[in-house]
Amino acid sequence: MNRRTDRLAAWAGAAVAVLLLWAAYAAGLLGYLLTEPGEVLRLLGQHVVLVLTSGATAVTLGLGLGIAISRAPLRRLAYPVIAGVSLGQTVPSLALLALIFALVRTIGFFPAYLALTLVTLLPIVRNTYQGLLGVDRDILEAGRGMGMSARQILWRLELPNALGAIFAGIRTALVINVGSAALAFLIGGGGLGDLIFSGIDTRRNDILIAGALPTVILALAVDWLLGRLERVVVSRGIRADG
């Protein structure tokens, strides 16, 4: 994809978004958002905290687990872990939430955090593992032959070269995370889901929109930020657009 069509698509998207917003405003759908911005901000804050904490945990754990099962001594574990991870991904977030709730038997932030971490973990583990496995064997042979230790090979060769795949996993995972965090309200975890579900319950579309719109914007923002970060962190020598 070249830069020009990218930019064109971005402008077109922005134009459509502005048009939709105007239509929503005209239809009175932004009523709640405009009259109660404080409440929306409070819930957005909760949402962001959920995303950040569970996201950070998932990235740390996911990278660690993905690296661990790609090491020779633990590679036997890779198949069951990846299979388990894939199975986990087919379970709907809502079911996972219910499951966690049933297991920890409390409501509030903690079960929501736990469920979100799990949901987010899966793509990260899989992409980290596959990214590391996909690194060209010749590079590793050269590194070993030049006297790099196993650790230096991991940090200086394997991870930098797997970073594209790892970032793709993290991006997918965090976008899913932002969406799934809207379900946290169902087990007392707060967040923008509060507005979405209240809006559905009370048939107040302006309340629903006040929850849904910031959720969508947050997801887009997270994806955009990670895209920027990727451009900084992943070497130009291996980037598709380098």
Partner 1 sequence: MIELSEVHKTYPGGAEAVRGVSLTVPQGALCVLIGPSGCGKTTLLRLINKLLPLSGGAIRVAGRDIAGEDAVSLRRRIGYAIQQVGLFPHMTVGENIAVVPALEGWERRRIQERVAELMSLTGLPPGYAARYPRELSGGEAQRVGVARALAADPPVMLMDEPFGALDPVTRERLQDEFLAIQGRLHKTVLVVSHDMDEALRMGDRIAIMRDGRLEQEGTPAEILLHPATPFVREFLGVERAFAQLARLPVTMALDAKWAAAAEPAGLSFAGNTPVKEALLAMAAGNVRAARVTGEGERSGGVVTLRSIAALLGSGRKGPPERPAAAAGEKSAGAESE
Q: Do 173 and 123 contact (CB within 8 A), yes or no?
A: yes
* Nearest alpha-carbon partner for 97 in 4, 181, 193: 181
Give the residue among 165, 171, 167, 168 at the shortest CA–CA distance from 222.
171
CB burial class (10 A; 0-12, 13-18, 19+) of residue 146? exposed
DSSP-derived secondary structure letter, 70: T
Do the Cβ atoms of 117 and 58 come closer than 8 Å?
yes
Question: Which residues, at least 6 apart from 85, have a Cβ–Cβ distance to it below 8 Å?
Answer: 121, 122, 125, 126
Q: Quick one: which of 88, 87, 86, 65 has its CA closest to 77?
A: 65
- Enumerate binding residues for partner 1 (CB under 8 A): 136, 138-139, 141-149, 152, 157, 160-161, 234-238, 242
Which positions ≥6 away from 214 have C-beta within 8 Å?
Answer: 40, 44, 47, 192
Place of tokens 């239809």: 27
Cα angle: 158, vertex 160, 162; to 5 degrees: 65
